[in-house]
Amino acid sequence: MRIDMFLNKLCLTKTRSIAKNACDKNLVFINSKLAKASNEIKVGDAITLNLYGYKHELRVEEVPAGNVAKKDTTRYYTMLERSELKTDQ
């Protein structure tokens, strides 16, 4: 499954276009490498997102086959760390 679809289906981004734009703006990493929206993810991949003012680090536990109910989203990943992004002002 593509990374932009994965982020959207698991409600980590509000829309797939936001996920795609985040990839285009170098805010998404898979296994510490810059991610393109079309990169495929697999079980065990480490994903880092710098979105919504936070740095999210998660590990893929399972790749969904189709749509996912919002209450079941956390079954597919483990949140390793969530920290506030520092802003220089």
Task: Please return the burial class of 81, using the count of CB atoms within 10 Å of its CB with bins 0-12, 13-18 and 19+.
Answer: exposed
pLDDT of residue 88: 60
**CATH label, 3-84, candidates 3.10.290.10, 3.20.20.140, 3.10.20.90, 3.30.1330.10:** 3.10.290.10
Cα 55 from Cα 71, distance rounded (Å): 22
- Residues of the chain with pLDDT below 70 are 87-89
pLDDT of residue 22: 94
pLDDT of residue 18: 94
pLDDT of residue 80: 94
pLDDT of residue 37: 93
**CB of 53 within 8 A of CB of 84?**
yes
pTM of the model: 0.87
